[in-house]
Structure 1
Amino acid sequence: MRLTVVTEDEAVVNVDVSETDSVDTLMAILEAETGVGTSQQRLLHNGKELLAGCSFSSAGVKDGDLISLLQARPPGPLPGASQAAQGLAAPQRNADGSLADPQAFIGGLLANLGVLASIPPAMADVVRRGDVATLNTYFRHMKQQEDARREEDALHMADPFNAEAQAKIAERIQQAAVEESYQHALDHAPEIFTKVVMLYVNVEVNGQPIKAFVDSGAQSSIMSQDCARRCNLLHLLDKRFQGMAVGVGSGKIVGQIHQATIKVQAVHLPMSITVLESGSMEFLFGLDMLRRYQCCIDLKRGVLRLDVSPPVELLFLAEHELPPTAQPSAGAGAPYEGLAEGRAASSTPALSPSTAAAAAAAARASSAGQSGSSGQPQSAAATSAPVAGAGAGSGSGSAPVGPPPAAEAAAAGRGENAAKVERLVGLGFSRQQCEEMLAACGGDEEHAASLLFDDAGGF
């Protein structure tokens, strides 16, 4: 007959035996298959333990039955300590799990400095201090965990096809897989647990030396207001292009500088810069300029190449050369506030100017140098709540706290749409075009303006 044996780690072993064979025969086969010694094997059949020496027929075992294999573990496991203490015997423990002779255990570890260095630092500190109370508390806790695990195993093995038991088994398998993956990463790729040095290059903006953060995940090039003031660029700030930059956090956009000069080595390049009100990041070299100048981030050589005349290669700064703001504090996920790094979809600045014309221009300014398309402006309008313009009476993205009467709501909606249509007409489009496009965009003035300019061949 054929028996199916399931181990604690969910391995399945199929064994062919005779009804007249004894349980010892199965144990010998399982020792060869699983490596678990016969003295450590506990075989359960329908919740009852199979005793060595009895035959399968007398134990009621039939063809196709399921046998559970449990491994009897020696008492006194000390994770990280007992496993590393190859030369130390397992400590004797009392019924409650505490050490029978804690001083002997501590003395054994102190006499073997190699083992002491391999155990967890917190436990090693307890051993060095000779803190018997803490040591016994630890072992009692381990005993409670062992007992709970043993009882849980018995319940699961009694009815392994129970839904709750299956869920617990699946959870253990998942936890084991995660731990195995973690240990494999520690052994073979420990560098992934270290801090990644962000990419910075030395540039000059309007004659001021700046360490620029290179971020291909940010749609627009961004500068803080303080940095723009230091570079004497605020007199070029167009405040119509105000809004919010949305990413991991958010930041207020105070305007846009349409034309500034950035110097990379001996080459002067024009660029457009979005200015944030605050933030620890001074200057961000975004995807708009990276694409405009066909830049290549060469991580193998550690350089940023710009396809300009003459060609330019900027060395990425070493960690000690980074600005203080690039050193993230504990728990910080980015070297700057309010922007997502490496998230192109969510780092699109949600610009909300005071007029629809400025909205369309803002959408295009964030992708300077690229061929005109309606995809990016649509995305910016669809993923952000518009901010009220300077001349608007109420925010287009805001909602009243309580629902007004039907007549008042209808009148308010007509008045708001009429104001939007008038602003769109003021851009040079026909009233019919503006009304149809505004209706198609669900009242989103910025989106409608973007599409109107797309249909007209660009702003």
Structure 2
Amino acid sequence: MSWHGLPVELKRKVFQYIHDDASKPSSRASCSVVCKGWQMVIEEKTLETLEVTPKCLYEFEKIFSGSLRRQGCLKHLWFRIELPTYSRLPSDTGETSEEEDTELSVSSDALLRLFTVLSKWDADQVLERNGRGINLELSAHSPSDQGNMSGAAGLTSMGEDRFLPVEVSLVGDELPSVSNVTGLSLLRRNMRRFRHTTISDLVACKLLRLDDIHLELWHHPSGLWADIFDSWLAEGVNRWAVSLKKINIFQHCETFQGPRAKKDATLARNIEDLGRRSHSLEELGLCNLIDARHFFESFSRPRATPRLPSWKNLRHLTLTSGLIAKDADSASPRDLLQSAATAAKRMPALHSLEIYNATTAGAGIFQYVILDPIAVINWASIWPYNLADDVKRAWKQVAQCHRLTPTTLEETLIHGYEGPAVFVHCYVVSRALVLHPSSSEAMIGDRVFEDPLVRMGLKRWAVTCLHKERENEALARITLSVNNPEVEEQELRLVTLEVFPDMTLGTLRSSIEAEGIPAPAQHLYHDGQLITDNNKTMQELSITDGDMLALHIRDMRGSGVAPGPREQPAAAPRRQASAPQDPELIRLQVLGDPRLRAELQRINPQLAANVDDSQRFAQLFQQSTNQQDEARRARMREIEALNNDEFNPEAQAKIEELIRQESVMENLQNAMEYNPESFGRVHLLYIDVKVNGIKVKALVDSGAQATIMSPSCAESCNIMRLVDRRFAGVARGVGTANIIGRVHYTMLQVGSKHLPASFTVMEGKAVDLLLGLDILKGHQATIDLTQNCLVIQGEKVEFLGESDIPKETEDAMNEEPTVQGPGGTTIGARSGAVTAPTTGSSSTPPAPAAAGPSSAAPMASRPAAPAAPAQPPAQAQPRRAFPEQDISTLIELGFDRQSAINALEATGGNVDYAAGLLFQN
């Protein structure tokens, strides 16, 4: 086979191999003239990172204009603004007004030209292809800057920057908006500062899809200019976009001088408010910009309005604080770290939290790093320091909130301190996220540093210390005596468990649940006393080695807990008769559980109103029980009367129907309790394809024999003219549909693959394009539900999400017939999807629990109160008042208040079930 006969994919693999194997970039570039395919491979590598100056913007626009492929290759764009030269030393005198005006004009014109070029790009296509846009790095410098720098790394011995406070700014408001830039960087190699208003304008108004900010700020260390700049930046942060995911800011001067003793806390509060408004923030690094104590103090600041959950997606947090210093009061770091622990409990996705201080005078760091399933707590400094016990205890609680095992390492004393740059590389775990002068080759040269986790032995120490702590702890063995009154003729069951002194009662309940006993049914007694506080540890409860606890299994929902496999006697009947319920035990449980009391208020207001009166409660409870028994006896009398007339065909038919209905309802209840996911709506599998260059959402249906297209889709794809009407006919299946004809050949693009395909054009379909077995099997496609994609000829094409599925198909599914389900719900006859009851519906309430065995199965997650006494039909059932915390939890998931209340009504106040019901609908 000749070279030109090879498939395009194979050619590109050969080019890629030659490109990666080439030793010199020049030799690779010289081969770009071989053929078009080789040129594409070269361009993908060459155009990935570019350095552009205003002088070459014309060539830059010419190369990328109109080429989506080239635009998609660009990942990082460094735009260098060149300012006029000068002959003076920057530290001798400031710029003249003419020089300043000239520089402002040059920088404004350069940014205007760049943004004008970028605004013409097809941002949607680029983002769809790459998943991310361009990272734009801006810098401004004069050719005279490098030769006139003074001091190490362009700073004086006191850390002052190279220039007086003259900053790069924009003139006018004509800068166009850009949608294809997702990252903005102002790094150390930038020779001039950018004015804070310019940064805020770019972040808030001009870069519409920005989600990543990296700033290295050159602040003036003297008090006046430093305070002014902090206030400017604090005001600018309030304008930043709430879609930001990564914010990393580093201020240089304090690396040399040390943090200022007095810092404005306004910036810290505004950063915290930005995180509160931005639910997407994942990384936050603020080094030498604010003091960590101001940041963490804002978490406990009282507010007039209820506090909303914040920082729920934050993974990495890195801050600096002047309180971490050799001469600092010992109580200061302790208070700081305790405040940080309080804040960390509200960061469920946290992976690392580091607070450090690194100057020419010294360095120290506190770290909370997650190495799943271990959370490492560590301190390192150049001076001796021991973490206080209350600090260690607070951070252990943080680890337990994150469902991790806390491990506290021994405090590290650093010997041979080499300065702040080396310290960051050696000890800061999030060093890749922290901007620092260590990025300067003049300060660290070509030195290669190990991963701080490896250097400090955190990975090894974490595992070693975990085993060591477990070995040193007083391992206790306790015995549970299990008693389940719902199981008759049960044998004595003893369960032995191993516990640690710091294990909480809630953790013990989880261990017992693994034995087949649900947590809500567990009633634990120690020394004759009921223990209920799940937050207390074994040590606080005085449970020691060899103790015996009584486990009383009592389900407060009206039917016994299903015993585990070891509890069920072999000769036990299929259904046990319920043991008599104790009204006083139920009343006490209602008094101790606010949610159960609220549920009783909804189901039986009269009983809930008398829960404080034991005699009246027992009387009403007995009345309710008697009514249920009477209803059950009436039903049995009806069945008995039918059985007495055994030769009556109508009576036998009624008995058969009653038995069938009971089996159906029992089967439905079992399905809703043990297999609730079967009632969720399964969405169809759609992918994005292109037919004749037109984008279409195609349904993947392996049960269809042929690929079918609707006439409207054929018209929009400009292939209706190719329909061969000799293949017209009628399709018969579930109903009938007219076949207009057949398109014998056209190109179908799936992912990057171009496949030949034929379509049957048929009326009466709600789907534009249905990919049948002829295409799936012909091109060896695989429906991979594990990865949620269609694999065709080795390429993975993800199925569309729920929000991207065509609305017409979902509307057709919503028109399906429904049947009545338990609790006022409706169930789709075809899909099986459960829908919540309509608010204010006048439909008949469900039958009482005593009507039959099928209605006695309670919800598995929450105890239910006894059924209410019979009410007159005309009496409206009072609407239940749910805890405001439960309603707020559902509202924070994105639903309105009324929908949240309706869902809680439908699920009996269970927040988890209510959330699942809202997402299903």
> Taking structure 1 as the reference length, what is the TM-score of the superposition?
0.41
Relative contact order: is structure 1 or structure 2 higher (C-alpha 8 Å, sep ≥ 6)? 1
